[in-house]
Chain A
Amino acid sequence: MTAAFAAPFSAGFNPAWDSAKVRPRMEDPSRAEDNDLVARTQAGDATAFDRLVVKYSPRIYAVVYNMTANHEDTSDLLQDIFARAFRAIKGFRGKSSFSTWLHSIAINFTINFLRKRGRRHTVSLNDVDAGIERDEEFIEMTSPDTPRRAHELREIQMRITDAMMKLSEDHRAVVTLHDVQGLSHPEISKILGISEGTVRSRLFYAHQKLQKYLNDLREP
Chain B
Amino acid sequence: MKHDPDSIQKMLRLKRHERPPEGFFEDFLSEFQVRQRNVLLREPLWRIALDRIGAFFTTDRRAQWAYGTATIAVVAVAGYSVLPAGGPSPTTERVVSAPTPAAETFVATGPSALVSGEFAPLSVPGAGPQPPGDPSADARPHYVIDARPVSYAPPYRF
Contact = CB atoms under 8 A, between A and B. Distances in A.
Given A71-B20, A128-B18, A215-B1, A58 B25 contact: yes
A137 B55 contact: no
B115 interface: no
A53 B29 contact: yes
B20 A207 contact: no
Interface in A178-210: 179-180, 182, 204, 207-208, 210
A91 B55 contact: yes
7 contacts: A79-B31, A79-B35, A91-B58, A91-B59, A128-B19, A129-B18, A210-B12
Contacts of B51: 87
A188 to B, nearest CB: 14
Interface in B1-16: 1, 3-5, 7-16
Interface of B: 1, 3-5, 7-22, 24-25, 28-29, 31-33, 35-36, 39, 51, 55-56, 58-59
B26 to A, nearest CB: 10
Nearest to A204: B5
Nearest to B22: A127
Q: Which 5 A-B pairs have CB atoms at the shortest separation, nearest pair first? A: A90-B55, A179-B12, A132-B17, A137-B10, A126-B18
Contacts of A138: 14, 17
B12 A132 contact: no
Interface of A: 42, 50, 53-54, 57-58, 61-62, 65-66, 71, 74-75, 78-79, 82-83, 86-87, 90-91, 125-129, 131-132, 135, 137-138, 141, 156-157, 160-161, 175, 179-180, 182, 204, 207-208, 210-212, 214-215, 217-218
B7 A218 contact: yes
Contacts of A137: 10-11, 13-14
Contacts of A125: 18
A62 B16 contact: yes
A217 B11 contact: yes
